[in-house]
Chains A and B, each alone.
Chain A
């Protein structure tokens, strides 16, 4: 038995790097420290959907071919296209993204990563107003107020709370575990009461008015971290919060602007905003102003509903305004483990984080115009390469139809939905398990990904596959060199 320590988990944007992988005879037999999602990845990555041989569609059927043939075919498709798209990149290494950008530039294509459909709006807002932020350790050490807005870390980033926020232990801040346990007990009791209460007096659901809110015992009150959860529904994360605001769907923008008003001590001329009574908001605004160090985490619940990017615009402005009164920072809860890395690499090479169009010979950026999902919806592309992503299972139907209509290359370890409609499928190794590389945590901290086991025979990492395609494209175009 051998234990590999300090392994970085290639699953979510929390990028926990304290994973211990237990090996026996070159196989992973156990995983320590990871959450269920992380552990499942290490234990089950090599499942039956694994592709083991490159495939090319001939006469409508997949045929197994040599890697060279698949690479050649892929290169041909890309080299001849007038407006190819290269999409995915958020579940692979920065090294692969680097080569991907070079390929995109060489073929005059559009390269885009999955932020286009998750935190793209956040980035657009950052470009409009900036962003006061920090690394996660800063929160662990200092934050006495944590706000999760439109994100449910309990299920999407399971160890986020434990490692970086409410339950973590820092230099100036203690963990709220103990308080949480005390609270859970109180909460269970209260819930029973509430339910009974509701059965008797109310027919409709109530959105936790202030008087029903859990009041922590006074000895736990001050100088401990507080947690606020704001969401359209009562999530598991909301259960452990000190304040929960149930916002009317699509009305986050109004709520944010109202909070901005309140922290500026301005009067609001309505009784309720986004379904929440203004007095309750006043209380929350007070908590925000009076903390020593606050953090607002937001998720796709905020970026993809209602006012979309402008929600983030307002959330950032709220955070910025709060800095007139105290210290406050804000951070997007990035989903895929290296979507941040894909943005970072793209930015240093091209100036732009995603949706980069090289068709005019230089990087051009204008999400809405150069974002892959919009290009597909308008039916403009004439070839696609999809890597480390499965857009066919998440994009709108019309976009997927266009994807299927034009020549499609898929690089992925799995036979996912997109691979099933592809013309060329090239299997790849799992980065972070079968291949090494670099990934960026949601707070922009770079971490090394390890190679723990050998990939199946003949299967290469993304980086290597893309590089071979690039070399082949250059050969076809009659350009020598590296």
Chain B
């Protein structure tokens, strides 16, 4: 198990794809210190940025723990397949991008594109997540394809855009366009959603337990449901309005919105 402590404050963006348990595994500390990192346009070594320490392992899994303000550091855990990364602090963009397995736990806030195009594994964020959580790269229509993302704080816009599989749970509030163009999978929001939930979705399930301003005109009300299954052993208690959409994309996605918190949507009931 390896601990990393930043040696100084970071200003320009740092690309550190090498911070990946699989890459660290079977390497000595001095080999780890030699790993390539980019600071802006300068090629550097991991050891120039971090004090690297070996500590006694708590688990069998290869583990990396990072401490301090890492908000300038991007691509930690990219393409990771196993092991654990623990981050005690804020962390930068593209955390766990294209991740396939293993676990990342953050005790802080996470910048945009966390879990982007993720295929498997778990990302758990105890602070807030920014925009494009689990969303794909520009121009791509293939978002998250598996795995779990759990956010205990809030998340920004376009959570789970183009999602194809997997689950995202946000216990705080989310921004606009949660589940944009999603095809399958589940997004659960315990708090409020800023609006335009499920825009252009073709399938999948979005559950919002808090307040929403309005429903897009391209959704149609289907039912009122007492409760909804979030995943195998978890049920969200309603009642929920169930909307289907997005009809402009011939979609059959399910959008559940708390009835209690959204009395202003009561007029939809006349279409039932």
A and B touch in the complex (CB under 8 A): yes
Contacts of B15 in A (CB 8 A): 360
Inter-chain contact A128/B139, CB cutoff 8 Å: yes
Number of interface residues of A (CB under 8 A): 41
In the complex, which of the residues B40, B113, B138 contacts A382, with contact meaning CB atoms closer than 8 Å? B40
Contacts of B237 in A (CB 8 A): none
A254 to B196, CA, bound (A): 8
Inter-chain contact A269/B176, CB cutoff 8 Å: no
Q: Contacts A82-B42, A128-B139, A358-B41; is A269 near B268 (CB within 8 Å)?
A: yes
A314 to B249, CA, bound (A): 11
Inter-chain contact B12/A83, CB cutoff 8 Å: yes
Asked if A444 CB lies within 8 Å of chain B CBs, one says no
A108 to B132, CA, bound (A): 27
Contacts of B12 in A (CB 8 A): 82-83, 380-382
- Give the contact stretch, choosing among A34-42, A294-302, A362-370: A362-370
Asked if B131 CB lies within 8 Å of chain A CBs, one says yes
Contacts of A380 in B (CB 8 A): 11-13, 72
Asked if A359 CB lies within 8 Å of chain B CBs, one says yes
Closest CB in chain A relative to B162 CB, distance in Å: 9
Asked if B221 CB lies within 8 Å of chain A CBs, one says yes
Inter-chain contact A310/B196, CB cutoff 8 Å: yes
Inter-chain contact A310/B180, CB cutoff 8 Å: yes
Inter-chain contact A307/B41, CB cutoff 8 Å: no
Closest CB in chain B relative to A282 CB, distance in Å: 12
Q: Contacts A254-B214, A381-B12; is A367 near B138 (CB within 8 Å)?
A: yes
A261 to B38, CA, bound (A): 48
B13-45 Cβ-contact flags toward A at 8 Å (1 or 0) = 101000000000000000000000011111000
Inter-chain contact A264/B41, CB cutoff 8 Å: no
CB-CB contacts below 8 Å: B100-133 with A: 112-113, 131-132
Closest CB in chain A relative to B141 CB, distance in Å: 8
Asked if A150 CB lies within 8 Å of chain B CBs, one says no
Contacts of B38 in A (CB 8 A): 359-360
- Give the interface residue-count category, chain B: 35 or more
Closest residue of B by beta carbon distance from A366: B138
Closest residue of A by beta carbon distance from B38: A360
Contacts of B214 in A (CB 8 A): 254
Asked if A182 CB lies within 8 Å of chain B CBs, one says no
Inter-chain contact B11/A369, CB cutoff 8 Å: no
A273 to B214, CA, bound (A): 10
A82 to B218, CA, bound (A): 48
Asked if A270 CB lies within 8 Å of chain B CBs, one says yes
Asked if B240 CB lies within 8 Å of chain A CBs, one says no
Inter-chain contact A261/B218, CB cutoff 8 Å: yes
Closest CB in chain B relative to A366 CB, distance in Å: 6
Inter-chain contact A83/B247, CB cutoff 8 Å: no
Closest CB in chain B relative to A136 CB, distance in Å: 26
A366 to B139, CA, bound (A): 10
Contacts of A261 in B (CB 8 A): 217-218, 247-248
Contacts of A253 in B (CB 8 A): 196, 199, 216
Inter-chain contact B248/A264, CB cutoff 8 Å: yes
The 10 A-B pairs of least Cβ separation, nearest first, read A108-B41, A82-B40, A83-B40, A83-B12, A127-B139, A359-B41, A260-B248, A258-B217, A257-B218, A82-B12
B residues in contact (CB < 8 Å) with A? 11-13, 15, 38-42, 72, 93, 112-113, 131-132, 137-139, 141, 176-177, 180, 196, 199-200, 214, 216-218, 220-221, 246-248, 267-268, 271
Q: List 13 A-B contacts (CB under 8 A).
A: A83-B13, A257-B199, A257-B217, A258-B217, A268-B217, A310-B176, A317-B200, A359-B40, A366-B138, A369-B112, A380-B11, A382-B11, A382-B40
Given contact pairs A369-B93, A380-B72, a sample of 20 additional A-B residue pairs in the complex whose CB atoms are under 8 Å apart? A83-B13, A83-B40, A253-B216, A254-B214, A254-B216, A269-B217, A269-B220, A273-B217, A307-B177, A310-B177, A317-B200, A321-B248, A358-B41, A359-B40, A359-B41, A366-B137, A368-B112, A369-B112, A380-B13, A382-B11
A residues in contact (CB < 8 Å) with B? 81-83, 107-109, 124, 127-128, 253-254, 257-258, 260-261, 264, 266-270, 273, 307, 310, 313-314, 317, 321, 358-361, 365-369, 379-382
